[in-house]
Amino acid sequence: MHPKWHIASSIIIAVISLLFEQNTPFLSIQLFHREISVFVLCFVVGVTIDVDHLIDYHVYRRYTVEGENMIILFHGIENVAILAFLSFAFQFPFIVFPSVSYACHMAMDVYGNGQPFLSYCYVIRFGRRLLGLFAV
């Protein structure tokens, strides 16, 4: 998926987050006397997930055929479940919109890249790669 779509979706989710009053316990960013920390988190989470592509490109490009054996560390469906669990189980409402931004990024990648859903699952990916157990 092209980064412009991740940026656009992250901005949309971030703007929606401004409709809800949310304070973060560790970060306070003000703009025109309005708390925008969750807005910033939505954008940062939704866009910076792709940093792992840069890491993979620079680390693995010498050792593999392009696109094969890439780790893409931040692209895991399990992360969405962990973020959702944190936001609801521990009463961290400020994580809800960044979680939605992350989930949107993942959904767009699954749909836009034409890869099977399970190829974004850490257990399947690492099991296949390290143990040769799963075929995706």
* Model pLDDT for residues 14-29, shown as the tens digit of each residue: 888 877 776 666 666 6
Q: What is the pLDDT of residue 92?
A: 76
Determine the Cα angle at 40 with ends 47 and 2, to 5°: 15
Q: What is the mean pLDDT of residues 7-14?
A: 88
Give the CA distances from residue 85 to residues 48, 54, 93, 95, 101, in Å, rounded to whole numbers and listed in that order: 21, 28, 11, 10, 15
CA nearest neighbour of 24 among 11, 36, 15, 13: 36
